[in-house]
Amino acid sequence: MANYQSIEHDVLVIGAGGAGIRAAIEAAEMGANVGLICKSLLGKAHTVMAEGGMAAALGNVESRDNWKVHFRDTMRGGKMLNNWRMAQLHAQEAPDRANELESYGAVFDRTPDGRILQRNFGGHLYPRLAHVGDRTGLEMIRTLQDKAVHTPGLQVHMECTIYKLLVNDGRVCGAVGYWRQTGEFVVYKAKAVVLATGGIGKSFKVTSNSWEYTGDGHAMAYLAGADLIDMEFIQFHPTGMMWPLSVKGILVTEGVRGEGGVLRNNKGERFMFKYVPEQFKKDYADTEDEARRWLDGDKTARRPPELLTRDVVARAINAEVKAGRGSPHGGAFLDIAAARSPDYIKRKLPSMYHQFKELAQVDITKDAMEVGPTTHYIMGGVRVHPETAESTVPGIFAAGEAAGGMHGANRLGGNSLSDLLVFGRRAGMGAANYAKNLKSAPALSQADVDATLKEMTAPLDRVDGENPYTIAQDLQELMQTHIGIIREEKEMQEGLEKLLKLKERASRVASNGTRAYNPGWNQALDLRAMLTCSEAIARAAIERKESRGGHTRNDYPDYDKELSKVNFLIKKTSSGEMGIRKEPLPQMPAELQELFKGESNATSQS
C-alpha cells in the first residue's frame, strides 16, 4: 500500500477563504489545536475575487438602517426560502464582524466623519456594503491571513487537497488528501472538521469561478452521509465579461451598478424599467429622471431598477438577448461613463478599469462594457444547524458557500463576505466546542484509508483511458446547456441521463506522469466531486416545478404556493443512490413575520 504522512489536529478546517480562515482563528483562540488546509497557497482563495463589499447594517451612511431591514432584504432577496434563523443571526452579527475585521487591520474606505463607508448594492434598501474600492475580498483575505499566521495553535497546510472525509461510528474522525507539490498522501486525524471549500462553479462553462471551485466540500459531506439543501439554486451573476471569448464569464462587480452604472440594449433603451417585479415596484424608480435624482442623493427618489436582485437582472438580460436586442456578443451594455467622472471611476472601481483595459481593451471611463450572465455562486450547500454550523453528521461543520440555507433561493450581493465571517466564526466555535466535549476521538479505520488511497492512485495506474480535461469540458458544456440559467423538464432529464453516462466514463479516467504537481491527475480526482454536485443540482432542479430566485423554468414560470413552503434535501440512501425529499421550512416567529406583513412569497416571479 502507498505510504502516507499522518497529522493530528483537534479541528481540521478545509478551505482557506474568508470562512475557513475565520473559523480557524476562532477555534484556535478557543484553545483547539487547528489545522487550516489551503488547496492553493495561503491568500489565493476565491475570496480575493470578491469585489463589491461586505453587507452589514452599520448605519454609517444611512441611519435608518438596522439589522431588521437587512434581515428583511435578505429574506425577500432569497424569496423567503432562507433559513430565517441564519438570516437573522447574519443580519445581527455582521456589523460586529465588520468592526472586528477593522480591529484586525482592515482598511475600509471612509465616510467624511471618518467611519467605515458603505455603498449601495442590489436588493439592499440602504447603502450597506463596507468596501475597499472594488477589491474588498482581497482586503478581507489579507487581513485574515495575517491574523491567522500570528494566532498560536493554528497551523497552515498549503497546497493540500482533501479527497475524502473519514467517518467511523457515525462521527467524523479525519480526512485523506494529498500534497499538490509532491503528490504524497496525507491522513489527518481530527475530532471535528469544518468544510469551507466554497462552491461548484467549475462545473459550468461560463463561470466567474476558479479551478478550485469543484464542490469538494459539498460532495465530501454528501458522501459522508450529510444532507445537502437547496441545491437547485445557483446564482447566475448578471454581469460577467462577454468578450474576448477567453475571458468570458469573468466577473464585473455589481459595484458598477451600485455606483450608478446603467444597463442598455442594442437600441440604447434602458430596459430594466420593464422588468421590475410587482412586489418590488414601490421601492424602485419608474423613470430615468427619478433614478438620476436618487444617484444625486435625493432621499425622496427611489432606487434605479439596475439595483434589483441578481436573479431579476440576469433574467432581464437573457430576455433582451432572446428578443434580438442583445449586444454584439450576446449580452447587454453596462455604462458607468455617463454617470461618473473618469477620476471617480478610477478611484472607486480601479480593478474594473484595469481589467477591461488590459483584457478587452475597453476604457470604461469612456465606453460601455459588454456584459452577460455568468455562473457565480451556489445558494445550496451542506445543511447546517444555524447556531453551531454543524451538519447532520456529528463532527462535520460547514460555513460560507459550502453551507446552505442562509441565502434561500437567491443571495444578495455583499451578503457573501458577511456570511463568511458570521458563520465562519460560528463554525469555528461549534467545532472547537464539539472537539472539547468529545470524550475520545473515534479511531480511523485502516481499511478505509487503504481503499481511499487505492482509489486516488487509480487514474495514474490506468494506461489507456479517458482524458480528465475532456470529461471536465463535456460536463461544463452539459451543465451549461441542460441545467443552466433557463431550465425545462425535458432538457434537464436529458442532461441527467448524459450526466450518468459521463459518470461512467469518468470511472475510466487516466492521467500520465507522476503524482508530483500533476494538474491532469488532480483534475481526474476533482471529477468525482464535480459530478456528484452536478447530479444533486440536476435532481433538485427537476423536482422544483416552479420558478423562484436563481431557479428559472420555462415550463413553470411562476411561484408555486406549495413549493414556497419547502426546501429540497439530498441525501445518500442506504443503497448508495442519491435520494431527494421535501422538508417544510422552519417556522418563523411571529415578531419576525410582522416585518413582511401584507407580502406573499407566492406571487409571480417577474
Partner 1 sequence: MQPAKAETGTISRLMRVFRGDKNRSELKEFTIKQHPGMVVLDAIHQIQADQAGDLACRWNCKAGKCGSCSAEINGRPRLMCMTRMGDFEPGETITVRPLKAFPVIKDLVTDVSWNYEINKKIKPFTPKPKNADGTWRMQQYEIDRVQEFRKCIECFLCQDVCHVLRDHDKKSEFGGPRFFVRAASLEMHPLDTADRVPMIKDSLGVGLCNITKCCTEVCPESITITDNAIIPLKERVVSRYFDPLAVLWHKITGLPKQPRGGE
Question: What torsion do the CA atoms of 346, 350, 353, 359 make, to the nearest 10 degrees?
Answer: 160
Cα(258)–Cα(401) distance, rounded to whole angstroms? 23
Q: Which one of 64, 110, 454, 508 is in contact with partner 1 (CB under 8 A)?
A: 110
199 scored as a contact of partner 1 (CB under 8 A): no
362 scored as a contact of partner 1 (CB under 8 A): yes
Residue nearer to partner 1 on the CB measure, 27 or 252: 252
Taking CB under 8 A as the binding criterion, the range among 347-355, 381-389, 476-484, 590-598 that sits at the site for partner 1 is 347-355
Report which DSSP code applies to 597.
T
147 scored as a contact of partner 1 (CB under 8 A): yes
Contact mark string toward partner 1, 1..40, x via CB under 8 A: ---------------------------------------x
270, 264 contact by CB (below 8 A): yes
Residue nearer to partner 1 on the CB measure, 278 or 358: 358
Residue nearer to partner 1 on the CB measure, 10 or 466: 466
Q: Which one of 517, 572, 586, 595 is in contact with partner 1 (CB under 8 A)?
A: 517
Residue nearer to partner 1 on the CB measure, 211 or 596: 211
Q: Which one of 269, 286, 289, 358 is in contact with partner 1 (CB under 8 A)?
A: 358
- Catalytic residue, chosen from 22, 124, 128, 257, is 257
341 scored as a contact of partner 1 (CB under 8 A): no
Taking CB under 8 A as the binding criterion, the range among 237-245, 310-318, 477-485, 528-536 that sits at the site for partner 1 is 237-245
205, 196 contact by CB (below 8 A): no
3-class SS of residue 470: helix
512 scored as a contact of partner 1 (CB under 8 A): yes
3-class SS of residue 34: strand
Residue type (1 letter), 81: L
- Closest Cα to residue 76, out of 520, 497, 548, 581? 548
Cα(51)–Cα(413) distance, rounded to whole angstroms? 10
Residue type (1 letter), 342: P
Residue nearer to partner 1 on the CB measure, 250 or 451: 250
Peptide bond into 373 cis (omega under 30): no
551 scored as a contact of partner 1 (CB under 8 A): no
Q: How many CB atoms lie within 10 A of CB 500?
A: 12
Tell me if residue 150 is catalytic: no
114 scored as a contact of partner 1 (CB under 8 A): yes
* Phi, psi torsion values for 126, nearest 5 degrees: -120, 165
142 scored as a contact of partner 1 (CB under 8 A): yes
400 scored as a contact of partner 1 (CB under 8 A): no
Taking CB under 8 A as the binding criterion, the range among 169-177, 281-289, 367-375, 403-411 that sits at the site for partner 1 is 367-375
Residue type (1 letter), 299: K
DSSP 476-530: HHHHHHHSSSEE-HHHHHHHHHHHHHHHHHHTTB---S-STT-HHHHHHHHHHHH
246 scored as a contact of partner 1 (CB under 8 A): yes
440 scored as a contact of partner 1 (CB under 8 A): no
The least CB distance from residue 394 to partner 1, in Å, is: 33
Cα(94)–Cα(378) distance, rounded to whole angstroms? 21
Strand-pair category, 160-168 with 154-157: unpaired
Contact mark string toward partner 1, 39..78, x via CB under 8 A: -xxxxxxx-xx-----------------------------
Residue with cell 488528501: 177
Q: Segment 85-104, which members bind partner 1 (CB under 8 A)?
A: 99, 102-104
Residue nearer to partner 1 on the CB measure, 277 or 519: 519
Residue with cell 470562512: 19
Burial 159-184 (b: 16+ CB within 10 A, else e): bbbbbbbbbeeebbbbbbbbbbeebe
The least CB distance from residue 410 to partner 1, in Å, is: 24
468 scored as a contact of partner 1 (CB under 8 A): yes
Residue nearer to partner 1 on the CB measure, 134 or 227: 134
DSSP 364-398: TTTSPEEEEEEEEEES-EEE--TTT-B-SSTTEEE
Residue nearer to partner 1 on the CB measure, 207 or 415: 207
250 scored as a contact of partner 1 (CB under 8 A): yes
432 scored as a contact of partner 1 (CB under 8 A): no
Cα(338)–Cα(442) distance, rounded to whole angstroms? 63
Q: Which one of 66, 168, 210, 480 is in contact with partner 1 (CB under 8 A)?
A: 210
- Catalytic residue, chosen from 237, 407, 544, 553, is 237
Tell me if residue 237 is catalytic: yes
466 scored as a contact of partner 1 (CB under 8 A): no
470 scored as a contact of partner 1 (CB under 8 A): yes
Active centre residues (catalytic): 237, 257
